[in-house]
Amino acid sequence: MTAKRLRAVVALAVAGAFVLAGCQSGNDADEAPDTSASDTAAASDDAADAADDAAEPAGDNIILANITEPQNPLVPTSTNEVQGGRLVDLLFAGLVYYDAGGNAINEVAESIETEDSQTYTVTLNDGWTFTDGSPVTAQAFTDAWSYGANANNAQLNSYFFESIEGYEELQATEDGDEVDEDGNPIPIPLAAPDAKLSGLTVVDDTHFTVKLVQPESDFPLRVGYSAFYPLPEAAFADMEAFGQNPIGNGPYKFNGPDAWQHEVSIDLIPNPDYQGGRVAQNDGIFFKSYTSPDAAWADLQSGQLDITDLVPDQYLQTFETDLGDRAVNEPAAIFQSFTVPDRLPHFGGEEGLLRRAALSHAINREEITATIFDGTRTPANDYTSPVIAGWSDSIEGADVLEFDEAKAKELWAEADAISPWDGTFKIAYNADGPHQSWVDAVVNSIKNTLGIDAEGDPYPSFAELRTKITDRTIETGFRTGWQADYPSLFNFLGPLYGTGAGSNDGDYSSEEVDSLLSQGLNASNIDDAVAAWQEAQSVLLSDLPAIPLWYQNSLGATSEAVGPVPFGWNSVPLYYQASK
């Protein structure tokens, strides 16, 4: 009896200890060599109640903003997505910055001068320092750019330097001895790990020159992008550590070595040594990491978030009426389209031109943007975006973007006369993004107007869709889009429709477009350049290498405490202007 009772007591104790046992395994995980986030989490285990709200900063003028964990280390030349981008933009200052209107304003640069649009002389302002105290010299720029361009460093933004002389050499490769899965030799970079861009010459601490491969009149507009930020000496010693804890010269800096709690939050405070025009009007920005827009929205509604650029679908219809001037919904530098490559059956040559024009006329953009997107897209008038200087809504040939059933049928019939249509017209999209509803609407619009079979073709993930597009094995139309890296018309055209350009997914090639694009780049002033690029656009509108759909709008909302906050040309809130 005693033994049995003892066993019962033990059983209960063990049952109770089950919880503790689980706890124990938790602490094991904690013992991994990590000194940041988990320690605070483990510490609060014991004093959970007392630690309420302890993790969030207290302060009257700290702005709480949303973010999603950046995908790459915070090295400017390797930050190619918008989450890391918004941080890098706050942590660094480049030669120029962009104001809310997308205009490039000198920041570290005192001037960027050229006579032939090919060789630029950059003069820096005196007195700028990084947060580690080292000066922002001409070399800080040229070393950073060379680092970004050198293939040995595998920087995601390296193609940004392709127009600078010496880039080709830094990216050259030869076949190595090792082979990959398919038996192809694995190329190895040829350049020395510390090789520099030959087109960059440091004159003295505040002057350097940039020699481009060819004249590019919009180069000064480009250098505000994150790839062109300077790096301090300390960065090159240990880039990995730098990416986790960057030392910049921007309006903000990390609040201590533990400022970045991965997947949780990032804590920025104003940089007192910052000298540019983007002066912080708050005492810090506390970025909270979200994986769903709904969670961010719930926080905004309960006052636990001040700025969000995520609006959940179910609030799109009402958020502007509910929030008034605290809601943001305006066209952004994001252009969306779908591409039907020439090489697909029925889409080559004259037949293809007719069919693409027919497809374009068959899409009711007004209705789709209003009903599917609740007005969060703006029907496209061209291949660029209204936030870019030089944009026009009346380019010759833009009427191909108007919904016109009769015209669509007529053009389709003309194409059928060349070779009768068979099969199903498909638009491929990635199902991990919010694309199904509009693709369905577009194909239905095509189906109803032209009386052909049309459907969406979902891929499980963006990676899969991109792979098929990149290796040119996709046998359908597919969604395409472009978010500008810097506010210039050329950025929407050159990389997408120039012959052999990096993002020319449809392998479009037109001598006329190529020559107009380069004519713009060679122009001595930006107005002449704009004229040439607009002319290139009218060729595009007749060839339709991609069928323009709409511009995506910047969406966002701010809390009552903060009030309206302007969003930049790149849809990222101008955090430094927020205050409460």
Per CB under 8 A, contacts with other proteins among 278-337 are 286, 288-292, 294-296, 298-299, 301-302, 304
CB of 296 to other proteins, least distance (A): 8
Which of the ranges 18-26, 370-378, 442-450, 526-534 carries the binding residues for other proteins, by CB under 8 A? Answer: 18-26
Q: Which of 113, 262, 396, 448 binds other proteins (CB under 8 A)?
A: 262
Please count the other Cβ atoms lying within 10 Å of the Cβ belonging to residue 120: 23
Which of the ranges 16-24, 362-370, 403-411, 565-573 carries the binding residues for other proteins, by CB under 8 A? Answer: 16-24
Place of tokens 């194909």: 443
Beta strands 185-189 and 173-179: pairing type?
antiparallel
Which residue spans within 246-311 are E strands per DSSP? Answer: 252-254, 260-261, 265-270, 284-289, 307-308
Q: CB nearer to other proteins: give 149 or 530.
A: 149
Q: CB nearer to other proteins: give 334 or 523.
A: 334
Q: CB nearer to other proteins: give 317 or 448.
A: 317
Q: CB nearer to other proteins: give 73 or 397.
A: 73
Q: What DSSP element (H or E) covers 104?
A: strand 104-106
| The residue type at 468 | K
Q: CB nearer to other proteins: give 345 or 460.
A: 460
In this structure, what token pair is assigned to residue 181?
A: 């899965």
Q: What whole-number distance in Å separates Cα of residue 165 and Cα of residue 219?
A: 13
Q: CB nearer to other proteins: give 187 or 397.
A: 187
Place of tokens 């990676």: 463
- Assess contact for 273 and 253: CB atoms under 8 A: no
Please give the backbone phi and psi of residue 190, each rounded to the nearest 5 degrees, phi first.
-90, -30
Does residue 418 belong to the site contacting other proteins (CB under 8 A)? no
Task: Report the candidate in 285, 232, 280 with the shortest Cα–Cα distance to residue 254.
Answer: 285
Q: CB nearer to other proteins: give 122 or 469.
A: 469
CB of 187 to other proteins, least distance (A): 5
Q: Which of 41, 372, 539, 561 binds other proteins (CB under 8 A)?
A: 41
Q: CB nearer to other proteins: give 7 or 343.
A: 7
Q: CB nearer to other proteins: give 118 or 337.
A: 337
CB of 455 to other proteins, least distance (A): 20
Q: What whole-number distance in Å separates Cα of residue 575 and Cα of residue 580?
A: 12
Please give the backbone phi and psi of residue 442, each rounded to the nearest 5 degrees, phi first.
-65, -45
- Assess contact for 307 and 578: CB atoms under 8 A: yes
Does residue 265 belong to the site contacting other proteins (CB under 8 A)? yes
Q: What whole-number distance in Å separates Cα of residue 152 and Cα of residue 190?
A: 9
Give the x/- contact pattern for other proteins in 428-467, rule: CB under 8 A. ----x--------------------------xxxxxxxxx
Site residues for other proteins, window 508-537 (CB under 8 A)?
none
CB of 180 to other proteins, least distance (A): 5
Query: For residue 389, what is the DSSP state?
Result: T
CB-based burial label for 234 (10 Å; 0-12, 13-18, 19+): middle
Q: CB nearer to other proteins: give 48 or 237.
A: 48
Give the x/- contact pattern for other proteins in 359-398, rule: CB under 8 A. ----------------------------------------
Does residue 81 belong to the site contacting other proteins (CB under 8 A)? yes
Which of the ranges 7-15, 90-98, 417-425, 559-567 carries the binding residues for other proteins, by CB under 8 A? Answer: 7-15
CB of 303 to other proteins, least distance (A): 8
Q: What whole-number distance in Å separates Cα of residue 31 and Cα of residue 167?
A: 45
CB of 184 to other proteins, least distance (A): 9
| The residue type at 29 | A
- Residues binding other proteins: what is the number (CB under 8 A)? 101
CB of 249 to other proteins, least distance (A): 21
CB of 278 to other proteins, least distance (A): 25
Q: Helix, strand, or coil here: 558?
A: strand
Alpha helices in 48-166 (DSSP H): 82-91, 138-149
Which residue spans within 107-243 are E strands per DSSP? Answer: 109-114, 119-124, 173-179, 185-189, 200-204, 207-211
Site residues for other proteins, window 138-167 (CB under 8 A)?
151-156, 158-159, 162
Please give the backbone phi and psi of residue 533, each rounded to the nearest 5 degrees, phi first.
-70, -35
Site residues for other proteins, window 468-507 (CB under 8 A)?
470, 480-483, 495, 502-503
Does residue 180 belong to the site contacting other proteins (CB under 8 A)? yes
Q: CB nearer to other proteins: give 172 or 418.
A: 172
Does residue 192 belong to the site contacting other proteins (CB under 8 A)? no
Q: What whole-number distance in Å separates Cα of residue 424 and Cα of residue 443?
A: 10
Which of the ranges 134-142, 179-187, 195-203, 269-277 carries the binding residues for other proteins, by CB under 8 A? Answer: 179-187
CB of 393 to other proteins, least distance (A): 25
| The residue type at 7 | R
Q: What DSSP element (H or E) covers 541?
A: helix 526-543
| The residue type at 479 | R
Q: Helix, strand, or coil here: 20?
A: helix
Place of tokens 């986030």: 37
Beta strands 185-189 and 260-261: pairing type?
unpaired
Q: CB nearer to other proteins: give 66 or 445.
A: 66
Q: CB nearer to other proteins: give 291 or 424.
A: 291
Task: Report the candidate in 95, 163, 153 with the shortest Cα–Cα distance to residue 125.
Answer: 95
Residue partners of 28: CB distance under 8 A and separation at least 6: none
Site residues for other proteins, window 43-72 (CB under 8 A)?
44-45, 48-49, 51-56, 69-72
- Please name every residue paired with 453 in a beta bridge, in sequence order, or none if there are none: 424
Q: What whole-number distance in Å separates Cα of residue 409 and Cα of residue 362?
A: 8
Give the x/- contact pattern for other proteins in 231-260, rule: CB under 8 A. ---------x--xx----------------
CB of 566 to other proteins, least distance (A): 26
Q: Which of 202, 264, 370, 531 binds other proteins (CB under 8 A)?
A: 264
Q: CB nearer to other proteins: give 106 or 384.
A: 384
